[in-house]
Amino acid sequence: MNTCAPRPIVVAQAASASHCANCDARHRSVCNAISTDDLERLAASAIPKVFAKGQLFIEEGEKAGDFFNVTRGTAKLYKMLPDGRQQITGFASAGHFLGLAVSDTYAFSAEAIEPVELCRFSRSKLRVLLDDFPALEKRLLQTACNELVAAQEQMLLLGRKTARERLASFLSTRIAEAAACGEHGSTISLPMTRAEIADYLGLTIETVSRTFTRFKAEGKITLPSRDEVQICDLDWLNGVASGQDHHAFA
Amino acid sequence: MNTCAPRPIVVAQAASASHCANCDARHRSVCNAISTDDLERLAASAIPKVFAKGQLFIEEGEKAGDFFNVTRGTAKLYKMLPDGRQQITGFASAGHFLGLAVSDTYAFSAEAIEPVELCRFSRSKLRVLLDDFPALEKRLLQTACNELVAAQEQMLLLGRKTARERLASFLSTRIAEAAACGEHGSTISLPMTRAEIADYLGLTIETVSRTFTRFKAEGKITLPSRDEVQICDLDWLNGVASGQDHHAFA
DNA sequence: TCAAATCATTGACCTGCATCAAAATCATCG
DNA sequence: CGATGATTTTGATGCAGGTCAATGATTTGA
């Protein structure tokens, strides 16, 4: 069974306490552009939904009728070629806004890689919200700019970095994201499989696995469990990630 | 000498006819969000500039004080690794808005690959414009979304496509862009060198050259000159670009 | 007009990562 | 549990595209 609510569920509250007011992801999502007083307006347009691991909830090429805001869990965003080759363009976790596209069809697919909770906005309802709350639009533009910067960084990775550098960049980014969320440990947990890491980094499963093994053999990381990585030498990791010593052999 | 104005220059007009009103690129840029009546307001904030081929006008990591809107010519946008490896993330031609970044430093560098004319906006002046013209902000968000979609497509290319597919995608996109600008011929002119194409596609100069040669040998394109490509079989090109027949040998 | 510099093409060879193929480990559930 | 299937690791081998090295072609400038 896929149960998706490991935290206490707040059921059928009085109308005054909207689900938006209780949302853990609010402060880190675009919704923080809406003042507390206006949260009910927001809550009226946002329909909470839950998807089990493996469920596809955005499909490339389909009519783009809805926007989503992830409040819990992680989804992979990806594009595919007709013969099945897949490129994951990003992982969306709590606070991530999905569907930013002017076109009337989705440009990518999205699938839950662990139980995902999100809020759904219809295109039309979002338009009304944007007209009523210019701050929300500003916030959305900011978000889009940040994603653009991340996308450029990923292009550098995919176009010019070696397998070692790609995996180091991936781990380095994850550590930084965890730190930004207040988790300052040296261990990160990876909700995605090796196959998904490979599809994100433009590599194969085997190369990802071998590179993990080599990092471990070099004493730079440990692998406490299948989905945990402990970074032993963060400076070294960041150095490799940024492409220093491409041809050094230390 | 680098002279950059092959078209008649409009000099020192009466204040009533602003440079924005005469701008060829206006209708295809974010500036078309501003009504004709308000053009003077826009012109007062936009300072025209010219850069010769080879000039760097945005440098990654520098303080991001200005935004730019290209009105003529082409610039390459790129990121570099410390050892010189370069990834071009895009080519910006007339109508392209540059500098979209929330951070206070530029995330990429920009260099003119042919004489470039552009309008410069200071961060502060742009902010005022955005506050006064919400439509401009909406337009900017649209633009950012479109670039995001293009970036995702490029990630698919860099992460999963073969050299043949990459070059075919590049040519296919260029043909489509030309068509969108009203040029419906089967010949495209490339303002960039082979090295720049390579840095855009995540390949080497040699591989780009060899792939061009093979396409020519297969009768799918001709190369009338160094910077022109004529597409003989557009359907074939689009097929290869979209990754069909990865393992076909026709 | 010609020399020098830049850019493009072509060829020979090499390597990092992909592919193919087991084996080992882990997760799920009857 | 213990069996079954999924995931990960490891090994052997192959190849697409990189590297190195000339040679042509085109542009630039004196």
pLDDT, one tens digit per residue, over B4-20 is 334 444 444 444 457 88
| Residue A72 belongs to some domain of the structure | yes
The shortest CB-CB distance from A156 to any of B79, B149, B161 is to: B79
- How far is residue A144's CA from residue A147's CA, in Å, rounded to a whole number? 5
Q: Residue B50: which CATH number?
A: 2.60.120.10
The tally of domains found in chain B comes to: 2
Residue ending a domain, among A140, A156, A172, is A156
Tell whether A140 and A194 lie within a shared domain: no
Q: Are B138 and A181 in contact (CB under 8 A)?
A: no
Does the pLDDT value for residue B247 go beyond 90?
A: no
Tell whether B46 and B119 lie within a shared domain: yes
Residue ending a domain, among B106, B126, B156, is B156
Tell whether A32 and A120 lie within a shared domain: yes
Q: Which nucleotide is nearest to B216 (CA to C1')?
A: C9
Tell whether A61 and A138 lie within a shared domain: yes
Give the DSSP H or E segment for A145.
Answer: helix A134-160
Tell whether A129 and A199 lie within a shared domain: no
| Residue A150 belongs to some domain of the structure | yes
- How far is residue A69's CA from residue A119's CA, in Å, rounded to a whole number? 5
Tell whether B151 and B50 lie within a shared domain: yes
Q: In angstroms, what separates the C-alpha of B103 from chain A's closest C-alpha?
A: 8
194-213 of chain A touching strand D, CB 7 A cut-off: 194-195, 205-206, 208-210, 212-213
Please list, in sequence order, all residues whose beta carbon lies within 8 angstroms of the beta carbon of residue A73, skipping any fewer than 6 positions away: A4, A51, A93, A94, A112, A114, A115, A116, A117
Tell whether B126 and B173 lie within a shared domain: no
Find chain A residues with C-beta within 8 A of B134's C-beta.
Answer: 134, 137
Does the pLDDT value for residue B58 go beyond 60?
A: yes
pLDDT in tens, A99-155: 887 788 999 999 999 999 999 999 999 999 999 999 999 999 999 999 999 999 999
| Residue A128 belongs to some domain of the structure | yes
Tell whether B141 and B32 lie within a shared domain: yes
| Residue A250 belongs to some domain of the structure | no
Does the pLDDT value for residue A10 go beyond 60?
A: no
- How far is residue B238's CA from residue B215's CA, in Å, rounded to a whole number? 13
Contact between the CB of B238 and strand D at under 7 Å: no
| Residue B177 belongs to some domain of the structure | yes
**Using N-to-C axis directions, what is the helix angle for B163-180 and B205-217, rounded to 10°?**
80
With CB atoms and an 8 Å threshold, state whether B243 touches A142: no
Lowest mean pLDDT among A39-53, A71-85, B191-205: A39-53
Residue ending a domain, among B107, B124, B156, is B156
Q: Are B208 and B196 in contact (CB under 8 A)?
A: no
- Dihedrals φ, ψ of B85, to 5°? -60, 135
Tell whether B82 and B169 lie within a shared domain: no
Lowest mean pLDDT among A180-194, B95-109, B227-241: B95-109
In chain B, the percentage of residues whose pLDDT exceeds 70 is: 92
Does the pLDDT value for residue A21 go beyond 90?
A: no
Closest CA to B167 of B224, B210, B226, B225: B210
Does the pLDDT value for residue B230 go beyond 80?
A: yes
Tell whether A212 and A170 lie within a shared domain: yes
How far CA B214 is from CA of B16, B218, B226, in Å, comes to 55, 6, 16
- Confidence (pLDDT) at A17: 56
| Residue B198 belongs to some domain of the structure | yes
- How far is residue A153's CA from residue B158's CA, in Å, rounded to a whole number? 12
Please list, in sequence order, all residues whose beta carbon lies within 8 angstroms of the beta carbon of residue A16, skipping any fewer than 6 positions away: A40
- Confidence (pLDDT) at B4: 38
Question: Both tokens of residue A174?
Answer: 């994850």
Q: Are strands B221-225 and B228-231 parallel, antiparallel or unpaired?
A: antiparallel
- How far is residue B103's CA from residue B122's CA, in Å, rounded to a whole number? 15
| Residue A247 belongs to some domain of the structure | no
Find chain A residues with C-beta within 8 A of B138's C-beta.
Answer: 137
How far CA B142 is from CA of A126, B20, B56, B139, B238, in Å, comes to 14, 21, 27, 5, 26
| Residue B98 belongs to some domain of the structure | yes
List the domain range (segments joined by +) for residue B180: 162-241
Q: Residue A219: which CATH number?
A: 1.10.10.10
With CB atoms and an 8 Å threshold, state whether A159 touches B202: yes
Average pLDDT, whole number, for chain B? 90
With CB atoms and an 8 Å threshold, state whether A140 touches B141: yes
pLDDT in tens, A218-231: 999 999 999 999 99
Tell whether B178 and B71 lie within a shared domain: no
pLDDT band at residue B43, thresholds of 50, 70 and 90?
A: confident
Query: Which protein residue lies nearest to nucleotide D6, measured between its Cα and the C1' atom?
Result: A193
Tell whether B220 and B121 lie within a shared domain: no
pLDDT in tens, A152-174: 999 999 999 999 999 999 999 99
pLDDT in tens, A185-229: 999 999 999 999 999 999 999 999 999 999 999 999 999 999 999
- How far is residue A236's CA from residue A231's CA, in Å, rounded to a whole number? 10
- How far is residue A53's CA from residue A112's CA, in Å, rounded to a whole number? 5
